[in-house]
């Protein structure tokens, strides 16, 4: 920018915008959740419903994150290292769940796997039902957190090329050995970046889970649903703030990890959007 004055004006406008949009809500949340003292906050997040919601959220994350990590790494290797018929389509499918409304994901899962859905009858014969069960919550969560690992790895894989892999292969290394000793070390920060994003999305998913869960306390209530339920149905405002603060602290931790990883691997900035 030409003059110092206009530069300073623009900076002020931007900082003000960010302060109103992001800063104010964060400060306000901390003040509200801890305003009645740390004891009250602690009491709220250790009550049975909150704990069981937290437990379910962690269990679901423990299923969805590893699965989507393995799938993401595998698919990234396929997309970055192979040329095959339908590669573009394969690549695009991964973005579908995050490009459309989480509510739509929920409705789609119900129409496919619940009692009224396509596969409801055969699934029920096996005793499986997705509507109002933890299984549905897990499916919805896996769906909305699908692309992050893939999207973090592919640019890095493309960037590093495959000369080292080819060298290892020429020296007689098998596929698994090449992956563990050559490929994985060079993409580990990207994998970690993707896993961090996946965890954030997994713990925070609300819309898709709300549609399939039926919001049953202690059974299908994840932490985000608990926050909503506390506010909207049980008028337990402090419980809602306290749960929200827990999730906000997790996402601040996530942001810090992402920032550290980005400093190690410049390529990672590009693929969030």
CA 172 to CA 253: how far, in whole Å? 42
Q: What does the DSSP 8-state code read for residue 179?
A: I
Binding span for other proteins by CB under 8 A among 34-42, 43-51, 110-118, 187-195: 110-118
Q: Does 118 bind other proteins (CB under 8 A)?
A: yes
Q: Does 261 bind other proteins (CB under 8 A)?
A: no
Classify each residue of 241-263 as buried b or exposed e, where b means 16 or more C-beta atoms within 10 Å of its C-beta: bbbbbbbbebeeebeebbeebee
Binding to other proteins (CB under 8 A) within 140-199 occurs at 142-143, 146, 158-159, 161-163, 165-166, 169, 175
Say how many C-beta atoms besides its own lie within 10 A of residue 79's C-beta.
Answer: 20
CB of 102 to other proteins, least distance (A): 6
Site string for other proteins, 225-254 (x = CB under 8 A): x-xx--xx-------xx--x--xx--xx-x
Q: How far is CA 159 from CA 52, 94, 169, in A?
A: 44, 21, 19
Q: Does 125 bind other proteins (CB under 8 A)?
A: no
Question: Which residue in 136, 159, 150, 133 sits closest to 218, CA to CA?
Answer: 133
Q: Does 42 bind other proteins (CB under 8 A)?
A: no
Q: Does 126 bind other proteins (CB under 8 A)?
A: no
Q: Does 25 bind other proteins (CB under 8 A)?
A: yes
Binding to other proteins (CB under 8 A) within 66-95 occurs at 67, 71, 74-75, 77-78, 80-87, 90, 93-94
Binding span for other proteins by CB under 8 A among 37-45, 48-56, 116-124, 187-195: 116-124
Binding to other proteins (CB under 8 A) within 198-227 occurs at 200, 203-207, 210-211, 224-225, 227
Helices marked H in the chain — which ranges?
Answer: 4-18, 24-34, 38-45, 48-81, 87-93, 96-99, 102-113, 120-125, 134-144, 148-160, 163-170, 175-178, 184-204, 207-213, 223-232, 237-264
């Amino acid at each position: 920018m030409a003059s110092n004055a206009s530069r300073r004006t623009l900076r002020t406008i931007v900082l003000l915008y960010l302060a109103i949009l992001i800063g104010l809500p964060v400060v306000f949340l901390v003040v509200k959740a801890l305003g009645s003292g740390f004891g009250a906050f602690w009491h709220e997040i250790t009550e049975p419903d909150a704990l069981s919601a937290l437990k379910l959220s962690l269990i679901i994350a423990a299923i969805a994150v590893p699965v989507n990590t393995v799938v993401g790494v595998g698919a990234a290797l396929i997309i970055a290292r192979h040329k095959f018929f339908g590669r573009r389509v394969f690549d695009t499918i991964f973005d579908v769940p995050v490009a459309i409304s989480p509510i739509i994901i929920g409705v789609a899962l119900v129409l496919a796997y619940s009692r009224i859905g396509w596969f409801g009858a055969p699934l029920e014969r096996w005793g499986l039902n997705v509507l109002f069960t933890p299984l549905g919550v897990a499916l919805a969560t896996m769906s909305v957190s699908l692309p992050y690992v893939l999207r973090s790895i592919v640019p890095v894989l493309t960037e590093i090329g495959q000369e080292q892999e080819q060298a290892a292969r020429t020296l007689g290394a098998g596929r698994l050995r090449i992956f563990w000793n050559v490929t994985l070390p060079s993409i580990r920060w990207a994998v970690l970046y993707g896993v961090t994003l996946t965890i954030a999305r997994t713990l925070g998913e609300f819309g898709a889970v709300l549609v399939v869960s039926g919001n049953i306390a202690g059974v299908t209530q994840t932490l985000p649903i608990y926050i909503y339920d506390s506010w909207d149905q049980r008028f337990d405002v402090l419980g809602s703030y306290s749960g929200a603060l827990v999730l906000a602290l997790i996402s601040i931790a996530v942001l810090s990890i992402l920032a550290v990883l980005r400093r190690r691997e410049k390529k990672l900035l590009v693929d969030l959007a």
